[in-house]
């Protein structure tokens, strides 16, 4: 809209002024809108614009404020009709409607259980979020291991109920990235990439995504616990691109562990120790296992209930817990590599490289081999019970010593770790503020629904930052 013209003094005789005002009233003029609204002028031949107030601009070139003020005075002298007021109200509503609603364009990499659950949560809540936050969220592209679909605007409804839309092409993360970034640029919104895989390939792209201004949210631990040099580059790229690297779901799925730790550190608290049970699988095993029960049978029960990976050694080795501890240690400022952390494996040395026979299930075959070690493991559970303690598989970070570890430890039965149930995760933060009793976070730490909820929570953080306060 044109800026207001400087005041001009007119010495026109009253009769000449009346003629001028009459002529102005018959001329088309621009609807008056606030300067803060970037809306093109809409011409109307209905008459002079409404009363001018401070901060409003008249969009018709060549008409002085003095003439407009005179016209407004003439208009005020007559009684406004109800129709005119209604028309003004309609125009005001139209102006507000013209305001662009910011949009978050999301690219999904990994469309398995977690990916489908995440999309389901987003689609179910998108309309409410737009109403509450004034921000739209749209799934713009989805990729599986070998194929991907680049969706048309508003086409994410084709993903409802875990469906895979038509129009798939060979998966190419570079092309998918370009498509999501272009969609965000076209709408004036922001881009976000969500990596639901456990692969290094997407993690290798985080640096480029973040530097290009795309936010990244992920449950994938490869970046946070991978080579420290890559981790540093990812963090630097986020600062450079004005974007955010969000990874709440890497440690406790949907359980808030990373977020509270970040808040404590930013607020100035001094964290001295972090200790927790960070594996739902191992939590279930040690919550279930009691004296008199065979260890191999408990592991088999966990396998049959879907708690373990197809090869239970992936859980029993403790490496997954080690990755989570590495992520938390780096969050606290320790420059540790995964290899720097001693990890107590629950896989007998003789079975570490064992391979199943042809046609044999690796899970079933491993449990059968594990039976030979039941007596050895029975002594561990019996000794802890005799001492009035419980066995727990724990990850720990000692900030004073600058070290971290993953181990099988014994705890008294009044310790928070002894109160875990089913497949709970739990984290204890010992800090300057939370002492002598630690801050404890406990709850479900595994499963597609809670993992997707953790990612969705990170998406909501970004949407809150985009919030349209006029909505």
CA trace torsion 365, 368, 373, 375 (10° rounding): 170
d(CA 349, CA 42): 79
Contacts of residue 47, defined as CB under 8 A and 6 or more positions apart, other chains included, come to 25, 26, 29, 75
Owner of token pair 């977020």: 259
DSSP structural state of residue 356: P
Three-state secondary structure call for residue 293 = coil
H/E element, 389:
strand 389-398
Cα–Cα distance measured from residue 423 to residue 278, given in angstroms and rounded to the nearest whole number: 10
- Evaluate whether 269 touches 453 at the Cβ level (below 8 Å): no
Q: Find the catalytic residue in 324, 344, 400, 467.
A: 324
Catalytic site residue 324?
yes
Bin 110: left if φ > 0, else alpha if -120 < ψ < 50, else beta: left
> Whose CA is closest to 278, among 228, 211, 326, 244?
326
Q: How many helices (H) and strands (E) does the chain have?
A: 18, 16
Going by C-alpha positions, the residue among 147, 221, 224, 140 that lies closest to residue 182 is: 140
Beta bridge partners of 56: 34
Q: Helix (H, G, I), strand (E, B), or coil: what is residue 437?
A: coil
Tokens in use for 23?
A: 């002529």
Classified as helix, coil or strand, 282 is helix
The runs of H, that is alpha helices, within 387-433 are: none
DSSP at 343: B
Q: How far apart are CA 107 and CA 109, in angstroms?
A: 7
Please give the positions annotated as active site: 324
């Amino acid at each position: 809209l044109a800026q207001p013209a400087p005041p001009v003094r007119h010495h026109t005789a009253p009769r000449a002024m009346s003629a001028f005002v009459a002529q102005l009233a018959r001329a088309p003029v621009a609807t008056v809108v606030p300067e803060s609204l970037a809306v093109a002028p809409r011409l109307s031949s209905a008459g002079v614009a409404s009363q001018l107030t401070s901060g409003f601009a008249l969009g018709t070139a060549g008409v002085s404020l003095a003439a407009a003020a005179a016209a407004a005075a003439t208009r005020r002298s007559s009684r406004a009709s109800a129709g005119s007021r209604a028309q003004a109200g309609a125009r005001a509503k139209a102006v507000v409607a013209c305001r662009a609603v910011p949009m978050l364009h999301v690219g999904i990499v990994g469309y398995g259980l977690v990916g489908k659950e995440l999309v389901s949560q987003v689609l179910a809540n998108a309309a409410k979020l737009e109403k509450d936050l004034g921000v739209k969220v749209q799934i713009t592209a989805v990729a599986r291991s070998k194929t991907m679909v680049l969706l048309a605007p508003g086409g994410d409804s084709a993903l409802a109920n875990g469906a895979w839309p038509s129009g798939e092409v060979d998966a190419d993360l570079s092309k998918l990235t370009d498509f999501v970034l272009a969609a965000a640029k076209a709408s004036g919104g922001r881009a976000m990439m969500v990596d639901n895989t456990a692969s290094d390939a997407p993690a290798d792209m985080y640096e480029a995504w973040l530097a290009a201004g795309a936010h990244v949210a992920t449950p994938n631990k490869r970046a946070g616990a991978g080579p420290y040099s890559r981790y540093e580059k990812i963090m630097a790229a986020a600062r450079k691109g004005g974007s955010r690297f969000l990874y709440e779901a890497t440690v406790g799925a949907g359980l808030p562990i990373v977020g509270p730790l970040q808040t404590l550190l930013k607020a100035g608290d001094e964290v001295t120790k972090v200790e927790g049970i960070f594996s739902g699988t191992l939590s279930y095993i040690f919550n279930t296992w009691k004296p008199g029960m065979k260890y191999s049978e408990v592991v088999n029960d966990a396998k049959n209930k879907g708690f373990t990976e197809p090869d239970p050694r992936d859980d029993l080795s403790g490496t997954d817990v080690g990755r989570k501890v590495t992520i938390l240690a780096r969050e606290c400022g320790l420059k540790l590599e995964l290899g720097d952390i001693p990890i107590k494996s629950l896989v007998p040395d003789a079975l570490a490289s064992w391979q199943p026979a042809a046609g044999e299930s690796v899970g079933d075959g491993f449990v059968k081999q594990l039976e030979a070690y039941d007596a050895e493991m029975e002594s561990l559970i019996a000794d802890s019970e005799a001492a009035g303690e419980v066995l727990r598989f724990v990850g720990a970070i000692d900030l004073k010593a600058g070290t971290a570890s993953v181990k099988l430890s014994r705890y008294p039965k009044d310790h928070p770790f002894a109160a875990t149930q089913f497949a709970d995760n739990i984290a204890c933060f010992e800090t300057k503020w939370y002492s002598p009793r630690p801050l404890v976070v406990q709850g479900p730490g595994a499963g597609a629904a809670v993992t997707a909820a953790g990612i969705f929570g990170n998406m909501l953080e970004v949407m809150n930052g985009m919030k349209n306060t006029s909505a």
